[in-house]
Structure 1
């Protein structure tokens, strides 16, 4: 049995809602912050389709050892059984944001 814990963290940053997975979540030694460490990304495998959102997140957080998120930016922290897809959503509408330009949808 794997005793390693896995957390899904949703937080707001610059008008977007990020959803990341991490192995460690705790109160930060800095007052008013939540500490998130051990970010989990799927290893890139040859012959596999790359999720552009996960690739963007991997690039954005590649040198990050510990995130210190302001308490008011944290939307939700869930302890989960397995890692799912990572997302970047528009904070207001909740729609997924793609990392490359897409033609506007007709209404």
Structure 2
């Protein structure tokens, strides 16, 4: 039986830290982007609703595949079990670093 891979992807978007779970993560076809496909959410009872996961689920509803800028990805882990997707605020500073280019062409003389 093939092992089922689950990846936890942590990234920054508009001053918030997102933690999502997906079945497929790769470098993709776009230079400088991480491709995250088949985002999964926990199957919770209709009686108990986690508002943090519902917020992420609503934001990614209908998304088949998303491309994350490489400089916004904090961490990608392959995990044994799926956790709860969530959005949290960045702590520590109110300064957002300016995105640095991944590739800087050399001097053309």
Band the TM-score falls in, shorter-chain normalisation: 0.7 to 0.9
Q: Compared with structure 1, are the counterparts of its residues 31 and 88 closer, same or farther at alpha carbon in structure 2 (3 Å cutoff)?
A: same
The TM-score with structure 2 as length reference comes to 0.78
Aligned to 2:31: 31
Shift in Å at residue 30 of structure 1? 0.6
User: How many residues are matched?
Assistant: 93
**Which 4+ runs in 1 deviate beyond 4 A?**
none
Aligned to 1:60: 59
**Could you say what the CA RMSD is over the residues aligned between the two structures, in angstroms?**
1.7
The TM-score with structure 1 as length reference comes to 0.80
User: Structure 1 regions of 5+ residues with no counterpart?
Assistant: 94-107
Which has the larger Rg? 2
Shift in Å at residue 2 of structure 1? 5.5
User: Structure 2 regions of 5+ residues with no counterpart?
Assistant: 93-109
